[in-house]
Chain A
Amino acid sequence: DTGVSQDPRHKITKRGQNVTFRCDPISEHNRLYWYRQTLGQGPEFLTYFQNEAQLEKSRLLSDRFSAERPKGSFSTLEIQRTEQGDSAMYLCASSSSGTPMGTQYFGPGTRLLVL
């Protein structure tokens, strides 16, 4: 299966620690997205890359959050000085510029719990 993969699937950390998540998109997809999902809500957009360029960032992405996609393939999302409010599912999605806008394929997510 060559779908979107994310690692780790689960992460428990203490408040104030830094965490990093990885996303590997579908291999031919040049667009990569990060979303955050809290309980009872739909996913909320965080940021978007086209190849290695970060083209959009949501106001949800505070200065404690940083995302990179250095070679235009996998991406990392780092949260510094975690807070309890950061507890959520972090979802990665990818799409190809050859497909219609909006057709994004999601990975299984990384569930973060900040104690």
Chain B
Amino acid sequence: GQQLNQSPQSMFIQEGEDVSMNCTSSSIFNTWLWYKQDPGEGPVLLIALYKAGELTSNGRLTAQFGITRKDSFLNISASIPSDVGIYFCAGPFDEAGSYQLTFGKGTKLSVIP
């Protein structure tokens, strides 16, 4: 099956610092999605990217769709305690027109006040 590799697996940062995480694939994706999941809750969609090279912001979050269509990154600026959670990249592996999303294993973010 298709795999998305996220790095880092976890990170501890000081409140106010900027954060960067990325996601790579061996296959081309036509859509990249970034979700955040809090403990015991479902993933919440943060940013959706639909075009290679696209750079999209959502408040303090910025994500980019890599030119090769095999990677994406997510940046969080000036982190705050409520940024704590697990960040997942995902994409539809739609080689056959499938709608199923493939997820990475997540980057767990801890923010030290």
Contacts and interface: CB of A to CB of B under 8 A. Distances in A.
Given A100-B31, A100-B48, A109 B41 contact: yes
A44 B31 contact: no
Interface in A58-115: 58, 91, 93, 95, 100-109, 111
Interface string B36-51: 0000111111001010
Nearest to A44: B103
Interface residues of A, number: 29
Nearest to A41: B105
B105 A101 contact: no
Contacts, number: 76
A91 B30 CA distance: 23
Interface string A19-49: 0000000000001010100001111110010
B105 A42 contact: yes
Contacts of A33: 99-101
Contacts of B48: 100, 102-103
Contact of A102 (B4, B44, B101): B101
B100 A107 contact: no
A105 B44 CA distance: 7
A50 B86 CA distance: 29
Interface stretch (B60-68, B77-85, B90-98): B90-98
Nearest to B108: A40
Interface of A: 4, 6, 31, 33, 35, 40-45, 48, 55-56, 58, 91, 93, 95, 100-109, 111
